[in-house]
């Protein structure tokens, strides 16, 4: 994590360094830079609102939040968020992190694509979601000064056509397990990317159930 971003808590412990090295070896530069921006924007938003949070735990959450995208072969039939959350939990256990904190990280990653819940959870869950929303849809940018935003982008550039490339990265990881997108924003990704994708419909599930009436 760059140390030149004004007002940003820079996690620099052994666990943060290990998370950086591990995730860098697994994901593309696109995802690695996105994950760092997610941490920066989430942490800066937390500082602006005087939310108390553990910077290293938020950083690990941000680093792992898209690790599940690496299973493009379709071996897993879990939501990619669950795969990333599970990997994060295993990683944290190696460093002796408590079950409570490991569960908080798991929740943050697992819920980051599900709207309307994170804001009512713990600080790390809330701030990871804010960071994701800031980088992908431009929400919460009023919490961040122009100087801070430019510093974050200088350290971790979006690159050319980031919007299109991030959608493609998400879609390629989910095309082999489309059923896992049901009930999250991921359904919108496949709906745009894959002409053969068919959304599940909850009303259809009710009407098509085994109940006679």
Output the CA–CA distances (angstroms, integers) from residue 63 to 80, 139, 183, in the order listed.
Answer: 14, 20, 24
Domains and CATH numbers, the chain: 14-158 (1.10.3210.10)
Residue of higher predicted confidence among 152 and 213: 152
Query: Any idea what DSSP says for residue 142?
Result: G
SS3 118: helix
Task: For 92-145, write each residue's pLDDT tens digit.
Answer: 999 999 999 999 999 999 999 999 999 999 999 999 999 999 999 999 999 999
Residue 136, CA distances (Å) to 14, 24, 42, 112, 158 in order: 29, 20, 12, 12, 10
Q: C-alpha angle 94/30/128, rounded to 5°?
A: 55
pTM of the model: 0.95
Nearest to 174 by CA among 164, 185, 158: 185
How far apart are the C-alpha atoms of 144 and 150, rounded to whole Å?
Answer: 10
Contact 110, 63 (CB under 8 A): no
Share of the chain above pLDDT 90, in %: 89
Q: What is the pLDDT of residue 145?
A: 97
Question: What average pLDDT does the structure give for the chain?
Answer: 94
- Mean pLDDT throughout 195-210? 93
pLDDT tens profile 19-61: 999 999 999 999 999 999 999 999 999 999 999 999 999 999 9
**Per-residue DSSP letter, 145:** -
Confidence category of residue 2, pLDDT binned at 50, 70, 90: confident
Which helix (H) or strand (E) segment holds residue 7: the answer is: none
Average confidence (pLDDT) over 175-199: 93
> 111 by DSSP, 3-state: which?
coil
């Amino acid at each position: 994590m760059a140390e030149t971003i004004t007002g940003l808590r820079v996690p620099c412990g052994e666990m943060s360094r290990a998370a950086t090295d591990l995730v860098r070896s697994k994901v593309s530069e696109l995802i690695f830079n996105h994950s760092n921006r997610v941490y920066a924007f989430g942490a800066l938003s937390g500082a602006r609102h005087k939310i108390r949070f553990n910077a290293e735990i938020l950083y690990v959450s941000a680093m792992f939040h898209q690790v599940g995208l690496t299973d493009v072969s379709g071996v897993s039939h879990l939501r990619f968020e669950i795969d990333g959350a599970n990997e994060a939990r295993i990683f944290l256990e190696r460093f002796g992190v408590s079950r409570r904190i490991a569960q908080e990280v798991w929740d943050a990653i697992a819920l980051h694509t599900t709207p309307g819940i994170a804001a009512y959870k713990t600080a790390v869950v809330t701030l990871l979601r804010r960071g994701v929303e800031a980088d992908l849809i431009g929400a919460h940018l009023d919490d961040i000064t122009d100087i801070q935003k430019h510093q974050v982008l200088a350290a971790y550039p979006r690159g050319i056509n980031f919007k299109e490339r991030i959608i493609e990265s998400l879609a390629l990881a989910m095309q082999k397990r489309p059923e896992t997108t049901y009930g999250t924003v991921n359904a919108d990704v496949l709906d745009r990317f894959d002409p053969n994708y068919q959304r599940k419909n909850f009303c259809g599930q009710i009407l098509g159930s085994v109940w006679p009436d």
